[in-house]
């Protein structure tokens, strides 16, 4: 029986359009990007 591919869905919040960029928004974006890169085969 062939193995199923593991599927990972990563969601992240969009930065608030009317607010200033802050450390929390950058942390969220970089963590999501790092997680998806590490999960690639």
Asked if the model's pLDDT at residue 8 lies above 70, the reply is yes
Instruction: Output 12 or 41, whichever has higher pLDDT.
Output: 12
Question: Is residue 29 within 8 Å of residue 13, measured between CB atoms?
Answer: no
- In whole numbers, what is the pLDDT of the chain averaged over residues? 81
pLDDT of the residue at 15: 76
Q: Count CB atoms within 10 A of the CB of residue 40.
A: 6
Instruction: Output 19 or 1, whichever has higher pLDDT.
Output: 19
Question: Is residue 39 within 8 Å of residue 7, measured between CB atoms?
Answer: no
Q: Tell me the whole-structure pTM to 2 decimals.
A: 0.57
């Amino acid at each position: 029986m062939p193995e199923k591919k593991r599927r990972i869905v990563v969601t992240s919040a969009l930065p608030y359009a009317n607010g200033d960029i802050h450390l929390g928004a950058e942390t969220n974006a970089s963590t999501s990007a790092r997680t998806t890169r590490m999960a690639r085969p």
